[in-house]
Amino acid sequence: MGILLAPSLLSGDFGDIRGTVKILNEGDADMLHLDIMDGVFVPNISFGFPVVDAIAKYSEKPLDAHLMITDPDPYIDRFCASGVSMLSVHYEVCTHLNRTVNHIKDKGMKAGVAINPHTPVSLLEDIIGDLDFVLLMSVNPGFSGQGFIQNTYSKLRRLKKLAEVINPDCLIEVDGGINVENAAAVKAAGADIIVAGSSVLGTKNPMAAMKELKTVCSG
């Protein structure tokens, strides 16, 4: 079994969104990862609905939006209207997480919960049964191009066990610092989906980079 590849647009050229999406349409991307940052939950601001809508207009692949915002609930319907099919919210900001997850699913989207590097996977015990995927952060969210946090491997193995017991259909997505050197090990530890920002759109040849990531994970 291979891996699903979710290149992040954050490392792309925002002056040429159409061209960036074209590369991902034609290459080995399985979905497009959209990093939405509010400058409050994370120390960075990325992009909002006009840009999401432009990406959606050109994308032939599913959109996977990762909300790094403190108050996601009021925006769930709007992401659905944009054509997003996978939506993740952060555990650390959702007071009524069960309600938020059900809202996402009621809109017909796949619901995911993202956890920061310091957040224990055991905290997902009573929500993982309701999830379509967990997004495990392997860097502190906010920026692309950071180094992969090594403790993620142990978290991944524990998360995989938890999912196998409670919800074997729940996919595990890993996000941050993934490249051709560590992708196979991330997959071996339990990842179903890998996000890749700088190691795809930050390279000179994103088509080749996607192919290589797929190849190293194909074993």
Q: Which residues are catalytic?
A: 35, 175
* Euclidean distance between CA atoms 134 and 172, whole angstroms: 5
Which of Zn ion, ligand DX5, none does 176 bind, CB closer than 5 to 8 A by kind? ligand DX5
Number of Cβ within 10 Å of residue 146's Cβ equals 15
Indicate which single residue of 28, 35, 38, 212 sits in contact with ligand DX5 (rule: CB under 6 A): 35
C-beta closer to ligand DX5: residue 82 or 152: 152
Cα(29)–Cα(58) distance, integer angstroms: 14
Question: In this chain, which of 28, 197, 206, 213 binds ligand DX5, going by CB under 6 A?
Answer: 197
Q: Is 157 helix (H, G, I), strand (E, B) or coil?
A: helix
Smallest gap from Cβ 144 to Zn ion, in A, equals 8
Q: Does 20 bind ligand DX5 (CB under 6 A)?
A: no
Q: Are 23 and 210 in contact (CB under 8 A)?
A: no
E strand or H helix at 90, and its extent? Answer: strand 86-90
Q: Which of 31, 63, 66, 160 binds Zn ion (CB under 5 A)?
A: 66
| Near Zn ion by CB under 5 A: residue from 12, 27, 32, 35 | 35
Using only C-alpha atoms, the chain has a radius of gyration, in whole angstroms, of 16
3-state secondary structure (DSSP) of residue 133: strand
Which x/- pattern over 132-171 shows residues binding ligand DX5 (rule: CB under 6 A)?
-------x-xxxxxx-------------------------
As a residue count, the chain comes to 219
Q: Which of 144, 140, 154 is nearest to 7 (CA)?
A: 144
3-class DSSP state for residue 20? helix
Q: Indicate the residue among 54 and 166 with the shorter CB distance to ligand DX5.
A: 54
By CB under 6 A, the count of residues binding ligand DX5 is 22
Per rule CB under 6 A, is residue 176 in the interface with ligand DX5? yes
End-to-end CA distance of the chain: 7
Q: Is 46 in the site for ligand DX5 (CB under 6 A)?
A: no
Q: Which is nearer to ligand DX5, 125 or 181 (CB)?
A: 181
User: Residues in the site for ligand DX5, rule: CB under 6 A?
Assistant: 8, 10-11, 33, 35, 66, 139, 141-146, 175-178, 195-199
